[in-house]
Amino acid sequence: AQKITQTQPGMFVQEKEAVTLDCTYDTSDQSYGLFWYKQPSSGEMIFLIYQGSYDEQNATEGRYSLNFQKARKSANLVISASQLGDSAMYFCAMSENYGGSQGNLIFGKGTKLSVKP
Partner 1 sequence: SQTIHQWPATLVQPVGSPLSLECTVEGTSNPNLYWYRQAAGRGLQLLFYSVGIGQISSEVPQNLSASRPQDRQFILSSKKLLLSDSGFYLCAWSRVETSGRNTDTQYFGPGTRLTVL
The residues of the shown chain that bind partner 1, judged by CB under 8 A, are 33, 35, 37, 42-47, 50, 91, 95, 98-105, 107-110
Q: How far is the CB of 17 from partner 1 (least distance, A)?
A: 26
How far is C-alpha 65 from the geometric centre of its chain's CA atoms? 9
Nearer CB in complex with partner 1: 76/110 = 110
Tell me whether residue 79 or residue 90 sits nearer to partner 1 (CB atom): 90
* Dihedral angle sign, alpha carbons of residues 70, 54, 20, 111: negative
Task: Pick between residue 14 and residue 46 the one whose CB is nearest to partner 1.
Answer: 46
What is the rounded distance in angstroms from the CA atom of residue 85 to the CA atom of residue 103?
30
The rounded distance, in Å, linking the Cα atoms of 111 and 9 is: 5
